[in-house]
Amino acid sequence: MKSSPWWKEATIYQIYPRSFFDSNGDGEGDLPGITAHLDYVQQLGVDAIWLSPFYTSPNKDGGYDVANPRDVDPRFGNLEDAKRLIEQAHQRELRVIADIVPNHFSDQHEWFQAALSAGRGSKERARFHFYDGNTDGTPPNNWISLFGGPSWTQVEDGQYYLHLFDSSQPDLNWDNPEVNEDFEKTLRFWIDLGVDGFRIDVAHGLVKEDVLKNHSDPQGLSNALRLDVAMDPSKRNALLLTVPYFDRQGVHAIYRKWRTLFDSYAGRDIMAVAEAWVHPPENATRYVRPDELHQVFNFDLLTAEFESKALFEVIDRAITLNATVSALPTWALSNHDSPRVASRIGSEQARALALFVFGLPGSAYVFAGQELGLPDGELADSDRQDPSFFRTNGVIKGRDGARVPLPWSGETTPFGFTSAKPWLPISQSWKELTIESELQDPKSSLHLYRNALNLRKDLMTGSGEINWIQSPGHGDKGNSLLSYTRGTVTVIMNLSESAQECDIDGRLLAVSNGTVEGHNGKKVIPARSSAWFSA
């Protein structure tokens, strides 16, 4: 009997290398720092690590501006450090997922530098999107960068190049066979070095259509495409339907070709997960059809309110839609591009939601620091480094708050992360949130995660579908409870501000906050809390 692929229901731990651990005292995390703390990661109970970019880069966008995708930036170490990290992870039965950035290169990449020198009509410029401006000298169209400002920058000879993000990130032209060939070379390079999979940045954005046509609402478009939880989702979704550079059909031909490449590594189970925020939600299932990619992120959970109807709809829809293509969903509450879940919905609520989703079928993604219950960092504007902050003149604060380094130990900042000044400041208010402190507290968020993730491995992986017990309109008239059974476990979440009595039999396995009590033959679930019970 063939065993299930390792990634089907894995727990993947996302590491932002610059913020994990500084091994050489320069204020920035690095690959040797990650290697030195793989035991911590393993003991958390995860199956794999996802490394945000560590490639050669001028670092104008947190490493997502890649100047050489087949080498390591000196700030993080070198290729030997990458090899050792992969080998040490594998010795601990941890898979390694690398972040690949196919939508754009850095303007410092040799291709773009060659394009600047080669001039109009050259094969070097054909690797990007270079166009002449309009007759009045304005850019080819009115598209606006997702980081604010125009999506076109003019070069010395008068032509413009397209960049959907920062001007230091020129978009690649995926109609050019050279681009396809180069990225296949990059994929093989890292697979041959030992990586087990890829997270694909802006996976929905590679193919552009109607490049010379204006968009009817460019300012609304720019605002709509941010991972902004305060934004009106209906407006964002309406605009996502009209963009000429996201979720075009041509991307699927690219991923079918990549899938053939991945499958050519017999016995390796190489996987890929797409960062693809698309609308309507069923469009996301196209990325995980049997001959394409393996997973696609469920971004709706990153913005869902802590409210039973909203969470039920997001979770149930993800399970139902993925089933139509014989795939399983992904569950992520935070990442490097979004507010930390503890800041977004509250610390108790974040613990409750984590325990609830850890029981669901599919893969769970945990952003480093989430297991500690870290909120967003407290930053002055003078600390910020996100290009969107500068391109919008400070109107958009950017994503730096989620990227503040981890607090490891000690009584004062920077809490053992570095012996120097950290690249982003770590608040003294995190004193009780260090790894050292939480390891000593059996009621800490870290202990909850360790317990829950090991229970997930033992009791949930491979145990099939869920059966809803309580959900809006199904056994919960007050809309304060969500619960399901899966295998031999019942999972319940009380979203209300007061304790709730429930008819649940079984032994308590875990509770996210407070204490579960018995009363009149019933279980009493604390406010803003989730619990697991065995049958």
Q: Tell me the domains of the chain and their CATH numbers.
A: 11-103+178-449 (3.20.20.80), 110-162 (3.90.400.10), 464-534 (2.60.40.1180)
Say what the pLDDT of residue 223 is.
Answer: 66
d(CA 278, CA 298): 10
CA 153 to CA 139: how far, in whole Å?
A: 8
* pLDDT for residue 522: 86
To which residue do tokens 């509770």 refer? Answer: 511
For 458, left (φ over 0), alpha (ψ -120 to 50), or beta?
A: alpha
Q: How far is CA 491 from the centre of its chain?
A: 25
Q: Give the pLDDT score at 221.
A: 66
Residue type, 225: L
Closest CA to 407 of 449, 374, 384, 376: 374
Tell me how long the chain is: 535
Cβ neighbourhood burial of 42 (10 Å; 0-12, 13-18, 19+) = middle
User: What is residue 22's predicted lDDT score, i.e. its pLDDT?
Assistant: 98
Question: Tens of pLDDT along the chain (535 residues)?
Answer: 357 899 999 999 999 999 999 999 999 999 999 999 999 999 999 999 999 999 999 999 999 999 999 999 999 999 999 999 999 999 999 999 999 999 999 999 999 999 999 999 999 999 999 999 999 999 999 998 888 888 999 999 999 999 999 999 999 999 999 999 999 999 999 999 999 999 999 999 999 999 999 988 776 766 655 545 556 777 777 777 888 899 999 999 999 999 999 999 999 999 999 999 898 989 999 999 999 999 999 988 998 999 999 999 999 999 999 999 999 999 999 999 899 999 999 999 999 999 999 999 999 999 999 999 999 999 999 999 988 888 888 888 989 999 999 999 999 999 999 999 999 999 999 999 999 999 999 999 999 999 999 999 999 998 999 999 988 855 554 569 999 999 999 999 999 999 999 888 889 999 999 999 887 778 999 999 999 999 8
What's the rounded Cα separation, in Å, for the pair 63 and 67? Answer: 9
Give me the pLDDT at residue 1, please. 38
Look at residue 369 in the predicted model and tell me its pLDDT: 98
Closest by CA position to 252, among listed 195, 358, 325: 325
**Angle at CA 322, nearest 5°, toward 466 and 318?**
65
> What residues contact 182, with CB distance under 8 A and at least 6 apart?
none
Cβ neighbours of residue 266 under 8 Å, at least 6 residues apart? none
Specify whether the backbone of 376 is left (phi greater than 0), alpha (psi in -120 to 50) or beta: beta
CB of 301 closer than 8 Å to CB of 295: no
Report yes or no: 58 and 67 within 8 Å, Cβ to Cβ: yes
- Burial-class residue 1 by CB neighbours within 10 Å (0-12, 13-18, 19+): exposed
- pTM more than 0.75: yes
As a whole number of angstroms, the distance between CA 156 and CA 434 comes to 50
Which token pair is 60?
């104008």
Report cis status (omega within 30 of 0) of the bond before 53. no
Query: How open is the CA angle 74-77-81, to the nearest 5 degrees?
Result: 150
Q: Quote the CA–CA distance of 441 and 434 in Å, as a whole number.
A: 11
Ramachandran quadrant class, 40 (left: phi over 0; alpha: psi -120 to 50; beta: rest): alpha
From edge to edge, which strands make up the β-sheet containing 500-502? Answer: 500-502, 522-525, 517-519
> By the 8 A CB rule, do 308 and 479 touch?
yes
C-alpha 210/C-alpha 143 separation (Å) is 11
- Cβ 334 vs Cβ 353: under 8 Å: no
Residue 256 CA: distances (Å) to CA of 246, 251, 259, 467 = 18, 9, 5, 33
What pLDDT sits at residue 231?
63
Catalytic residues: 201, 275
Q: Residue 382: what residue type?
A: S
pLDDT of residue 227: 45
Name the strands in the sheet holding 489-494, side by side, starting at the edge strand that comes first in the sequence: 475-476, 467-472, 481-486, 489-494, 529-534, 507-511
Crossing angle of helices 347-357 and 445-455, in 10° steps, is 10
Gap between the Cα atoms of 203 and 246, Å rounded:
9
Neighbouring residues of 282: CB distance < 8 A, sequence distance ≥ 6: 321, 324
